[in-house]
Structure formats: C-alpha cells, structure tokens
Amino acid sequence: MKVLLAMSGGVDSSVAAALLQRDGHEVVGCFMRLGSPGDELETPRADLGDARPQAKIGHQGCCSINDAADARLVAAKLGIPFYVVNFRNDFGRIIEYFEREYHEGRTPNPCVRCNDWLKYGKLRAYAEQLGCDAVATGHYAQVVATPEGPRVARGVDHAKDQSYVLFGIGPQAIARMLLPIGGFEKPRVRELAREFGLPVSDKPDSQEICFVPDDYASFLERRQPARFESGAIEDESGRVLGTHEGHQRFTVGQRKGLRVPATIPLFVIRKDAARNTVVVGPRESLEVRALEAAEVVWYGAAPEAPIACTAQVRAHGAPIPAQVSLSDGVLRVAFDRAEAGVAPGQAIVCYDREDRILGGGWIRATFRG
C-alpha cells in the first residue's frame, strides 16, 4: 500500500514511518509547512482591509523549520521520498477560528480543527494527487474494525492517548487512515527510534499551540487590541465585585488572577461576551450535569434514546460515565456525576465500553441541573 505519512520531525511520526516501511508499505513523507519560530503566518493583511498584525509561530510548535530539517533527515535515513507542503495560508483559517471563539466567549481547541481541516482534510486531498491509498500520522490512537465500519479507539498508552483530537475526521477519512504507533507506549516508541537508528530518538515533545509564542491573551490582544475592553466581574446574583481588562483573559474554571475581595475561593463560572462580563462563584457552581453539542460527527446509527458511554471534554481529561443521545443534529450528554470546568466551545467526545469513539461535537450549552 502506498501511504502518505504526515512527518512533524518528532519521534512519534518518525517511528511511524519506520514501522510502515518495515511492514512493507511504500511510504511517502510529507511535512506541513506552517512556519518557523517567529515566522509570520499568512493571515488577513492590513493591505487587504484587515489591520491585525500577522500571527507568528512559537518556539515549541510542531511545524517549525528545524522540525522540517529533522523530518528530512529521518526520510533520508529510511530512503523514502519527502515533500514539504506549504499550508501557511490554509492555517490562517485555524487562527481565525481560534480568535473568533475567544472573542465570542468560548473555549476553542485548534488542535482538533487542525486534524479535521488540514491533516485529514487538505493533506488527504494531497495524498490522492500523489496516488496514495492512505494517510498516516504519529498519533497515539488506533483504528479498529467494527460492524458499523472502522472507528478510532484509544491508544494503548492512555497517558498519551490522542484519540480525542481525531473524533471529527469522519468515516470516509478513517477508512483510509493508518495510526502505526497507537499500539505502543511512549517509552517503547523511543526504544524503537533507537533500534531503527533514527536521529530524533531523544527529541523532546512539542508542548504549546504552535502559533501562540507566549500566552493566548497576549496573542489575541496584539492581533486585535480594540477587542479588549474593561468590564465588570460579577457574582451569580449580578452584583459587581470588580473589573477586568477583557473577558478574553479568563477561562471557565480559572481561580487565580481574579483580583476581587472574597471570603471564599472564587472561580470563573461563565463569561458573557455580549455584555463583556465575567461571572464568578464558588467551586460548586462550576459543576455541570449535562450539555448540548452541535457540529456533530457520529459513527453508526444515531442513538435517539440515551445510551451509556464515557465522555471526555479535554484532550487529556478523565473519562466521565454518561448517557448520550442524538436527534435533530444535537448531541445531548448527561453526566453520571457532576463535572467541573466544562465550557462552550470545547469538544465533547463519547466512547463505548471498549474505548472506541462513538462520536462527538462542539459544546454549545451546559446545564447545572
């Protein structure tokens, strides 16, 4: 099988390349060029009617010029073809999504969107142009067969599991998807890198959002300073406790940096972007019992009546026992126990008892009752 492998220059995708080659596949390496540390990304320009400064790649991102050099070295070591594809312009769509969500008071997840739109969107189209039969990545997740068709399941290494960020790619992409390292734990992947003689066996993992070089609020403010306006910090009854310098500086569940007098610990309970207010309260007010999600991707028959599942609301969050149903394009999830810090804009992903993804969506509303 001819396979296009997304190579980031890290140990995971490098070992994926070696494993695919060992298993007899014809491997083509591909590096998605988004930018180097400090490089400007091709987002809307002032000369095109947008006064925002360009976004820049951070220092620990996954797609820098140094990463491209590492990926090229690995490809040379394995003797596989290697291409660099310029996705800088396409990546602007993800940055605009990130900005829009924060300015509208929601909590975005750009890594999920990157997989949906680029790695298994644009890159899949590029694979077809090259005559490739499948696209592979170095994610810690697995593709498993089910009576309803192939589905993504958790990786063997639950501490590194990345199945959550792959929920939205859809059945068509999964049918042409390979995840070679999903059956290994991270220490074994590094051992394999050394056994294959790969030059990246000890390379550290990337940690930050690749286009946010410091903190997200500073990034947003540099881009659109006029969107940051002072407003009220209120308690749940509407009483003003203090002021803030932009609701975008706060996230649901945040405790530090509120700078309001209180006799008990206070947390950000919700944000109202339309009123530019931040609402705070005690920890118990963070507890969410149910939610609704839109932009749903579901695998198999839609459960109109609630079925048991485990739900996850963060990339490395603990699975939450829950009941899920889907009707009229809306995913409804009721948690068996209250969960703190669930916010609109996050992705909700549901799994069956065998850790296979049932489906997921993007949270649009949460409910305490």
* Residues tagged active-site: 114, 210
Which DSSP helix (H) or strand (E) runs through 268?
strand 267-272
- Kindly tell me the number of DSSP H helices and DSSP E strands found in the chain: 8, 17
In this structure, the dihedral spanned by the alpha carbons of residues 241, 246, 248 and 254, taken in order and rounded to 10 degrees, is -30
DSSP letter string, 132-156: -SEEE---SEEEE--TT--EEEE-S
Spatial separation of the C-alpha atoms in residues 173 and 121, rounded to whole Å = 8
- Helices in 61-202 by DSSP H: which ranges? 65-78, 88-103, 110-114, 123-129, 171-174, 186-195
Cα dihedral sign for 279, 283, 284, 290? Answer: positive
Residues 6+ away with beta carbon under 8 Å from 148: 299, 300, 301
DSSP letter string, 285-352: GGEEEEEEEEEEEE-SS--SS-EEEEEE-STTPPPEEEEEEEETTEEEEEEEEEEES--TTSEEEEE-
Closest CA to 15 of 169, 157, 137, 158: 137
Spatial separation of the C-alpha atoms in residues 61 and 72, rounded to whole Å = 17
Q: Are 183 and 176 in contact (CB under 8 A)?
A: no
One-letter amino acid of 81: P
Residues facing residue 326 across a β-bridge: 331
Structure tokens of 81?
A: 């073809």
Question: How many Cα atoms occupy the beta-carbon half-sphere of 142 within 13 Å?
Answer: 16
Spatial separation of the C-alpha atoms in residues 158 and 310, rounded to whole Å = 14
